[in-house]
Amino acid sequence: MSETKNAIGKILFTEEQIKERAEELGKEITEAYRGEELVLIGTLKGAIIWMADIMKRIDLDTQIDFITASSYGGRTSTSGIVKITKDVELDLTDKHVLIVEDIVDSGVTLSRLIEYLKERNAKSVKICTLLDKPSRRITDVKPDYVGFEVEDLFIIGYGLDYDQKYRNLPYISYLEQ
Ligand code: IMP
Ligand code: MG
């Protein structure tokens, strides 16, 4: 019997709610970039399920890629030092880029990623995040497309982990601390 099971809180968003939201955002994104090509860049590992949900609802000429940004520090907070440990392989020159993120918390990771992708000569860089935790923001990063806003809880499930666990939960919950 795994003791970590007891640490899962209530369900905040079900798979059905998330897919409905993906449908809405997919339409918005399709409208916003109508006639343009778009590169979707998913952030590993947290954004994989959300990436799969959102990409199939975007009706545009699209390429996908992934990036891994690791931040040093504790398990439940970001330290501020961000390192890219798996880079994008596509040429981003003059491409519209949409970063597909799991959650924007302090915004430190994302502000570094935006800066980096602009250095790669992207034409534009915008953000589509499954979750937004604005109460914790310490940067001026503002996601362009947000699935859901969440309170200051440690979120798990649907790709999001605590110590690399819980990513496989088919819903969004939080850790009882
Ligand atoms: P930020 O740089 O503080 O905005 O957050 C960086 C990354 O930390 C996010 O992309 C997530 O991968 C992770 N993270 C932040 N908050 C949470 C959370 O509540 N649960 C799980 N991962 C989180
Ligand atoms: Mg992330």
**Helices (H) then strands (E): counts for the chain:** 3, 8
Give the angle 167-86-78 at the CA atoms, nearest 5°: 60
- Alpha carbon distance 114, 127 (integer Å): 9
Residue 16, classed as helix, strand or coil, is helix
Q: What is the DSSP string of 83-149?
A: EEEE---S--TT-EEEEEEEEESSSHHHHHHHHHHHHTT-SEEEEEEEEE-GGG--S----SEEEEE
Report CA(154)–ligand 1 centroid distance (Å). 9
Check pocket membership of 78 for ligand 1, CB cut-off 6 A. yes
Check pocket membership of 46 for ligand 1, CB cut-off 6 A. yes
Look at residue 81 in the predicted model and tell me its pLDDT. 82
* Residue having the nearest C-alpha atom to atom 5 of ligand 1: 105
Check pocket membership of 154 for ligand 1, CB cut-off 6 A. yes
* Residue entry with tokens 């970001």: 78
Check pocket membership of 105 for ligand 1, CB cut-off 6 A. yes
Q: What is the DSSP string of 101-115?
A: EEEESSSHHHHHHHH
- Alpha carbon distance 11, 32 (integer Å): 32
Task: Report yes or no: 96 and 114 within 8 Å, Cβ to Cβ.
Answer: no
Look at residue 177 in the predicted model and tell me its pLDDT. 77
Q: Give 48: exposed, middle or buried? Use CB within 10 Å, 0-12, 13-18, 19+.
A: middle
- Is-catalytic flag, 105? yes
* Residue having the nearest C-alpha atom to atom 11 of ligand 1: 103
Closest CA to 164 of 91, 85, 70: 70
Mean pLDDT by 10 residues, the chain (177 residues): 68 98 98 97 98 98 96 60 93 98 95 95 98 96 97 97 96 94
Check pocket membership of 132 for ligand 1, CB cut-off 6 A. no
| Ligand 1 pocket, mutate which of 44, 68, 105, 164 (most atoms under 8 A from CB) | 105
Among residues 105, 132, 152, 161, which one is catalytic? 105
